[in-house]
């Protein structure tokens, strides 16, 4: 899963360095937070200083992860984040393939001469990394971090804290093993994490059974009033405005998993969720099944990208404009949707 030559170079760089900053993408998910914390735990176990920096807040249902309270939120602690980046000997870039994915932090990182190491599983990584450990066959960045830690640690079993973080990343980025999870190597990794002492059932409950009553009511409202079904295109669309989010007291992570639900409808191959993050900015989540390439839809219509079955993007404009782009997308991909 990892190239030994690249892993060997990372080992050399890690051994001669003392301070590390670990960056993840904007709107960090379970894979971003889990893989970055796992790497931080490992580096700290080597006696290194390792700081995880996120561009903005991550969901509440991930705040049980070991040492999650040590994560530095750039939006809330900009000066501290900048200081940590300036002090770092190495900057690890996890779960994103381009600096544009980290928002304003890119303006800080880009001019620095500090070596950057990429660990990621998304398509088309950009240049600018001294080592790019990139493999699109991996189910998650957490899987790659497991392999890297396994190599750096000479095959030793990871600590339970590291294992909990890695399992969370793998579980969330495969939709609890519902997609991108058909390779036996994934389950060999999971077996090792269980051997390290995780309770996988408890982790599932901590992530997926950890919401407010408002979130459950929000889902009911969306399914009843905001889900549009396009049977002639085997597609669905969910829209949710900023005011609707406020009406249900939605907090970070409350819409997690919403885009997947319409895929339960018989025959549906493509699901699109348009969420107004703030007035004038629409966050786009796309999911598909089988061979329908929602990453192509993301690139063609929503200035985004991702994986074949799980992608995202955004629209700078109104909800009406975003819906119009969706309509053009299903028209363009009609032949592939009705296979």
Give domain 214-337's CATH architecture.
Answer: Roll (3.10)
Count other Cβ atoms within 10 Å, centred on residue 105.
Answer: 25
pLDDT in tens, 11-69: 999 999 999 999 999 999 999 999 999 999 999 999 999 999 999 999 999 999 999 99
pLDDT of residue 81: 98
User: Is residue 229's pLDDT more than 90?
Assistant: yes
Question: Domain ranges in the chain?
Answer: 4-208, 214-337
pLDDT of residue 87: 98
pLDDT of residue 1: 75
Phi-psi region for residue 267, left (φ > 0), alpha (ψ -120 to 50) or beta?
left
- Say if residue 44 is exposed, middle or buried (CB neighbours under 10 Å; 0-12, 13-18, 19+): middle
pLDDT of residue 28: 95
Distance, CA of 145 to CA of 133 (rounded, Å): 10
Distance, CA of 147 to CA of 153 (rounded, Å): 10
pLDDT in tens, 53-83: 999 999 999 999 999 999 999 999 999 999 9
pLDDT in tens, 284-334: 999 999 999 999 999 999 999 888 999 999 999 999 999 999 999 999 999
Task: Transcribe 5-39 into DSSP letters.
Answer: HHHHHHHHHHHT--EEEEE--SS--HHHHHHHHHH
Distance, CA of 50 to CA of 48 (rounded, Å): 6
Is residue 124 within 8 Å of 305, Cβ to Cβ? yes
Q: Which fold has domain 4-208?
A: inorganic pyrophosphatase (n-terminal core) (3.90.1640)
pLDDT in tens, 134-151: 999 999 999 999 999 999
pLDDT in tens, 165-184: 999 999 999 999 988 899 99
pLDDT band per the 50, 70, 90 thresholds, residue 339: confident
Report the first-to-last Cα separation within the chain, whole angstroms. Answer: 33
Q: Which helix (H) or strand (E) holds 118?
A: strand 116-120
């Amino acid at each position: 899963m990892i190239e030994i030559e690249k892993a060997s170079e990372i080992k050399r760089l890690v051994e001669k360095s003392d301070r590390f900053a670990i960056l993840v993408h904007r709107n960090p998910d379970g894979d971003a937070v889990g893989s970055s914390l796992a790497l931080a735990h490992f580096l700290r176990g080597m006696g290194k200083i390792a700081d995880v920096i996120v561009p903005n807040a991550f969901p509440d249902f991930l705040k049980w992860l070991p040492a999650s309270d040590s994560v530095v939120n750039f939006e809330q602690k900009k000066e501290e984040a900048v200081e940590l980046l300036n002090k770092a000997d190495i900057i690890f870039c996890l779960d994103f393939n381009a600096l544009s994915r980290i928002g304003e932090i890119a303006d800080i990182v880009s001019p620095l001469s500090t070596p950057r190491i990429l660990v990621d599983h998304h398509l088309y990584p950009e240049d600018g990394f001294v080592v790019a450990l990139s493999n699109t066959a991996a189910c998650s960045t957490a899987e790659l971090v497991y392999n890297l830690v396994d190599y750096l640690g000479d095959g030793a079993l990871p600590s339970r804290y590291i294992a909990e973080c890695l399992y969370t990343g793998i579980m969330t980025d495969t939709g609890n093993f519902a997609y991108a999870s058909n390779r036996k190597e994934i389950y060999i990794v999971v077996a090792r994490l269980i051997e390290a002492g995780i309770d996988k059932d408890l982790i599932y409950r901590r992530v997926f059974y950890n919401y407010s009553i408002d979130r459950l009511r929000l889902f009911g409202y969306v399914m009843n009033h905001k889900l549009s079904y396009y049977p002639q295109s085997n597609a669905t669309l969910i829209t949710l405005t900023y005011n609707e989010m406020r009406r249900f007291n939605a907090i970070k992570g409350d819409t997690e998993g919403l885009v997947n639900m319409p895929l339960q409808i018989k025959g549906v191959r493509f699901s699109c969720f348009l969420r107004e993050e703030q007035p004038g900015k629409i966050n786009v989540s796309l999911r598909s099944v089988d061979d329908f390439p929602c990453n192509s839809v993301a690139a063609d219509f929503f200035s985004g990208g991702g994986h074949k079955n799980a992608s995202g993007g955004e629209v700078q404009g109104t909800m009406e404009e975003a819906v119009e782009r969706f309509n053009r997308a299903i028209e363009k991909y009609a032949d592939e949707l009705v296979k």
